[in-house]
Amino acid sequence: MAKIPSPWDDNDDDKGPWADNEITSPKVKQFKPKKPVEVEFKWWWGVIAVLVIWLGSGFYQVQPNEEAVVLRFGAYNETTTPGLHYHLPYPIETIKKVNITQERSINLGGQETREIGSNTFTETHMLTGDENIVDINLTIVWRVENAKDYVFNMQSPDQTVRVAAQSVLREIVGQSQMLPIISGDRGKVEDETKEELQKVLDEFGAGIKVVRIKLQKADPPKQVVDAFNEVQRAKADMERFKNEAEAYRNEILPKSRGEAAQRLQNAEAYKQAVVSKAKGEAERFLSVYNAYKNGKEVTTKRLYLETMENVLGNSDKVIIDSSAKGNNVIPYLPLDKLNKGAK
């Protein structure tokens, strides 16, 4: 019987008990640890990454209320509308976005002051056409209409609009009377100022649209406001007296014209009556004359009797025929009074 050696007999200290027993089975592989993977960094990878980032920086978004002006090396290239767009990255091309729907406002009044003698005047004190001074506060509302012109031609938009509006307003006020400006004709001043200011800005190529202009205040200066109010009250009294006189005139003239027309009509009627009567008398005289020529005695007697009838008809005397004494006539009988009573 063979002797089975002990695993601890005749073994080197460094081999162990299984040093001579190698595993030779093909199904069992010997375990060997893997070596770490070494990645070699290439410098051109960084160049590619930087290039990708640089190219990606050319994408930009334009909002619905904006327009974008694309500049190529500082010169105008194109204007893009709302949406996603791409431009060559900086420094080849750059963009400037402009809000074209936002309404901007400028108040013209009370910033610049000037002293003339003992009085202090501001930029809103303007000389009218009738050599009066009026204090005007003006609000200008504007927006961007052309993004290209606005970017390239306007360096200080608010200051440009302010100066142009002040110049235009002074010209219009200088051609107007003071009273209409402060008493209710402001709409005309606003419309004329808006129209002229738009023309000036268009000549500048500002790319700005004037939306509206509103006169906030149009009063005489504080230094003369009391005297001015007194003048206005006097003018109001004058207008009142004038209106009262005009009302009296409108009342009396039609009445006078009516009376004059009535008198003319009466005179015309009297004229027609007199003429007609004269014509009738003439015709009557002619008829009597013709009758007289045909029967002189009869006509003479008839004329005599008609004449006596007219004469005695207006007399108060009563004539009694002397032959009537024996006919029981009372000697005293007031026949004249009875005759008047009969009338």
Residue 305: predicted pLDDT: 82
pTM above 0.75, yes or no: no
Average pLDDT over every residue of 10-26:
50
Asked if the model's pLDDT at residue 101 lies above 80, the reply is yes
Map out the domains of the chain as residue ranges. Answer: 46-99, 104-220, 296-319+330-342
DSSP 182-193: HHT-HHHHHHHH
The span from the CA of 291 to the CA of 295, in Å, is 6
Q: Which long-range CB contacts under 8 A does 122-127 form with residues at least 24 apart?
A: 123/166, 125/221, 126/169, 126/170, 126/173, 126/174, 127/170, 127/173, 127/174
Residue 267 confidence (pLDDT): 92
Per-residue pLDDT band for 4 (boundaries 50, 70, 90) equals low
Percent of the chain scoring above 90 in pLDDT: 8
Is 23 a residue whose pLDDT tops 50?
no
φ, ψ at 59 (rounded to 5°):
-80, 135
Name the band, by pLDDT with cuts 50, 70 and 90, for residue 190.
confident
Q: pLDDT tens digits, residue range 281-339?
A: 888 888 877 877 777 777 788 778 888 877 777 766 666 656 655 555 555 555 556 55
Q: What is the DSSP letter of 223?
A: G
Q: pLDDT at position 40, please? A: 55
Distance CA 140, CA 169 (A): 11
Q: In angstroms, rounded to a whole number, what is the distance separating the alpha carbons of residues 332 and 297? A: 38
Structure tokens at 234: 């006097």
Burial class (CB in 10 A: 0-12, 13-18, 19+), 335: middle
Residue 167 in this model has a pLDDT that exceeds 80: yes
Is 110's pLDDT higher than 60? no
**Residue 117 binned pLDDT confidence (cut-offs 50, 70, 90):** very low
At 1, the pLDDT band (50, 70, 90 cuts) reads: very low
Q: Does residue 123 carry a pLDDT above 60? A: yes
pLDDT band at 116 (very low <50, low <70, confident <90, very high): very low
Q: Residue 140, Cβ neighbours under 10 Å: how many?
A: 24
Q: Encoding tokens for residue 333?
A: 């009988």
Average pLDDT, the chain: 77
Better-predicted residue by pLDDT, 337 or 196? 196
**Mean per-residue pLDDT, 180-198:** 82
The string of pLDDT tens digits covering residues 203-246 is: 988 889 999 988 887 777 776 667 777 777 888 889 889 999 99
What value does the mean pLDDT take over residues 35-57? 74
Q: What is the CATH code of the structural domain delimited by 104-220?
A: 3.30.479.30
> What distance in Å separates the CA atoms of residue 46 and residue 209, rounded to the nearest whole number?
49
H or E segment at 305? helix 296-313
* % the chain with pLDDT above 70: 73
Q: Beta strands of 117-195 (E only): which ranges? A: 119-122, 125-127, 133-144
